[in-house]
Chain A
Amino acid sequence: MLKIDDLTFTYTGHKLPALESINLEVAPGKLVLVTGPSGSGKSTLLHCINGLAQIHYGGKLEGDIHVAGRDTSGKPLWQISELIGTVFQNPNTQFFQLTVADEITFGLEYAGFDNKTIKDRFRKALADVEIEHLRNRDLFTLSSGEKQKVALASIIAMDQPLLLMDEPTANLDIVSIHELIKVLQKLKNQGRTIIISEHRLWYLRELADQVVVIKDGKLIYDSEPDILNCSEFRDEIGLRIWNEPGEVTKSYVPQNNNSPILDITNLSGGVGKNKQIIKNVSLSLKAGNCIALMGHNGTGKTMLSRILTGLQKQHKGTVSIEGKILKPKHRIGKIGCVTQHAEQQLFSDTVLGELLLKPNINSIEGDCSEEILRQYDLIALKDRHPQTLSGGEKQRLAIAASMAMNPGIIILDEPTSGMDMLRMRNLSQQIKKLCDKGLAVIVITHDIELVSLCCDQILWIENGTIAKNIERQQYIKFFNELIKFNTQEGNENEIHGCLL
């Protein structure tokens, strides 16, 4: 179905090739997992296959790519798109229409099919992806998982022989991932060939027929998935977990006798007067501690962080920082917050300028900013535009910029989504450093590996309240309760927890 011969690809303006001498063969009807550390070239490989790399992004492609026996070199993108369908990572930028039905028929119309074919394919696509109930729904009201399914359905309707998926689970929670597993199994049974580029590996355990590992632009493994069972291999490459959660070491943080830096009492709040998302949350956080807030999507974690940072007014309850009860508008700026999409938090023209943007009364100025950059390993980039940095660098810069405000508490919202092992470990080091400096860190996450590395406590949020409070010694037990790796497929009710 796919044969790649000695592929070498260099982006325009770059000296070193992004991919070197890749040879790959994929038989029809197989599901292939392409993985590797961040920046290794997984996405580039997919873009070379579907033609975006050489035509849209621009670059020099050497070697041959044959899809379904046809050479894709020299063909315009719309012709290649008849052989290859691509589902991208971000569901938000994949849509053209406002409702689900319109979205799926949109592509079919542009392909020039007649009405009957469009109707049949539309129905079939809805059935294959199991979203008949979403047929007339508005795209903006769907959850991430449902959006991803709609994107998949609109590609499947075009009925291409090869399907590419670029990190489809980047924005999904575990329930959606399980539904995606079912859909992928169904598609595989229909005989489609699927190539998935991923960081999250565990959900493809039963599905992947072939695993391809790319590191630094070179193909270093192309064979059975069994090798991923070997944890040394995974650690060496920097891959995430495959079949069991890792070890949890004992906490190195000594007993903390500081006074609480953050005190929340009976906090309740939500959007609008009557809607209560957070109900009676109480917690206290000491300086130097790091806690994890975990829970399903929609249980109120983000709302809690918004209330804490002062962006949202609470309905009831108090929040006190360093002993003083503060109203929302006074809280703003006292608690730093770094969100999942760091680019929405970077305003300046230069990296250095980002830290000097608006000096606060408490904030640091001048060469102290350079010192901060040095700490975060960004000093070499100080004159670059923040939006041109890589994902990890942007995140570090966002954290640095928050730190320039000298807050006592910092909240990190989903910091590791889409991260590989190495970067995740670096982040946990940084969090530890922050704790050492005397900050309190709250991490909102699904990533159990991050939590095992640097968080002293887990607060499990359910229905807007803190349901459980888990200490470090109890982590393993808690994880095993949550994530039942040995559960049979179909017992989704038992799988509550989240990974990564």
Chain B
Amino acid sequence: MIRSFTQRLGQRNPNCVFEQLDPRCKLLIVLIVTIAIVFSNSLMSSGLFIAVGIVALFSRLTKALLFTSSFWVLLWCIFMLLFHIVMRQAISAPRAMFTAMVFKGTALIMTGLWFAVTTKLRDFTSALEAWRIPKIIILPLTIAVRFIPTLFHESLVIRDSMKLRRIAHRKRDLLKQPHLIGHSYLALITIRSLKMADELAAVAETRGLARPGKSKIFKPAQFKRNDYLSLSMLLVLIIVLIIASYFV
């Protein structure tokens, strides 16, 4: 699990076209798509759903796409069953709800996932720096992402130690003795985190990170041709969908 996390955020895949896009451009795309989804009617949302689906297929997110859509379909079915039939609460527009849930819901989630899967931490921080977000946010971001695997690993080790000492080692202890988890696990992991933070601060100081002044980004984020291309394609798509939805 740790490995997949770090691979997702660290390792670059040279084959993926979307990874070359500037994260700022992708963020804008996500924002525009979200707004479009929020205000769209059924035709637009189905159009967006298809567009998102195609992009997802190209980003190797097929499984996620299928899973998300089936989840929404299932949820809609449960809704219909539970409320419409059993509880007799009329749902005014079941078809609209279906479109909204399945199309809008999937499109929203898949756009987000597309962004998440194709953006690497380093590119993201470069983009943030290009937007002049101060060091005081970017540095903790880098530290936090880098520490998530470490703290997760530490949690597993602590859990093992707790098991060995027979502290809350059975599943039912979760309900019977939750305070033990708090006392033992939370206290220890917090202490360990704070100690690690202190060690990291010492390392950071000796690496000169407290230097006043600007840091020079090695590969600054830049809008390239592909970025403008994708943004324009998106805008065209949305305009087309808006116009089309007037005719239906």
Contact = CB atoms under 8 A, between A and B. Distances in A.
Interface of A: 50-52, 55-57, 76-78, 80-82, 84-86, 88, 90, 92-99, 102, 105, 107-115, 118, 136, 138-141, 154-155, 158, 306, 309-311, 332-333, 336-337, 339, 341, 343-347, 349, 357-358, 360, 387, 401-402, 405
Given A112-B216, A347-B162, A78 B205 contact: yes
A102 B122 contact: yes
Contacts of B88: none
Nearest to B129: A109
- Interface majority SS (helix, strand, loop, mixed), chain A: mixed
A347 B183 CA distance: 8
Query: Which of B157, B188, B212: most chain A CB closer than 10 A?
Result: B188
Interface size class of B (residues with CB under 8 A): 35 or more
Contacts of A50: 206
6 nearest A-B pairs in the assembled complex, by CB-CB distance: A98-B10, A81-B208, A347-B184, A78-B211, A78-B208, A77-B205
Given A95-B146, A96-B142, A344-B192, A332 B166 contact: yes
Most chain A CB inside 10 Å of its own CB: which residue of B7, B11, B164:
B164
B43 interface: no
Interface stretch (B45-53, B58-66, B105-113, B195-203): B195-203
Given A55-B205, A110-B208, A140-B149, 7 more contacts: A52-B205, A57-B202, A98-B121, A154-B207, A158-B207, A332-B166, A347-B187
B96 interface: no
B145 interface: yes
B214 A112 contact: yes
Nearest to A312: B160
A94 B204 CA distance: 8
If over half of B's interface residues share one DSSP class (helix, strand or loop), that class is named, otherwise mixed; here it is: helix
Interface in B212-247: 212-218
A336 B163 CA distance: 11
A390 to B, nearest CB: 14
Contacts of B208: 77-78, 81-82, 107, 110-111, 158
Nearest to B162: A347
A93 B143 CA distance: 10
Contacts of B199: 88, 90, 93
Nearest to A50: B206
Nearest to A47: B202
A344 B188 contact: yes
A405 B150 contact: no
B206 A99 contact: no
Contacts of B150: 92
Nearest to B12: A136
Contact of A56 (B205, B211, B213): B205
B29 interface: no
A50 B3 CA distance: 35
Contacts of B191: 387
Given A78-B205, A86-B206, A102-B122, A138 B6 contact: yes
7 contacts: A76-B210, A78-B212, A110-B209, A332-B163, A339-B157, A344-B161, A405-B165
A357 B121 CA distance: 42
Contact of B164 (A108, A140, A337): A337
Interface in B157-178: 157-158, 160-167, 169
B218 A118 contact: yes
B2 interface: yes
Contacts of A93: 196, 199-200, 203
A339 B161 contact: yes
A401 B184 CA distance: 14
Nearest to A398: B161
Nearest to B183: A347
Given A77-B206, A93-B199, A107-B208, A138 B11 contact: yes
Among A88, A337, A345, A347, residue most surrounded by chain B Cβ atoms (within 10 Å)? A347
A86 B206 CA distance: 7
Nearest to A154: B207
B30 interface: no
B48 to A, nearest CB: 33
B154 interface: yes
Given A78-B205, A344-B158, A109 B7 contact: no
B101 interface: no
A138 B7 contact: yes
Contact of A333 (B9, B121, B146, B166): B166
B163 A311 contact: yes
Contact of B167 (A77, A98, A105, A347): A347
Contacts of A95: 146
A136 B13 CA distance: 11
B151 to A, nearest CB: 11
Contact of A115 (B162, B195, B213, B218): B218
A81 B208 CA distance: 6
B179 to A, nearest CB: 12
Nearest to A151: B203
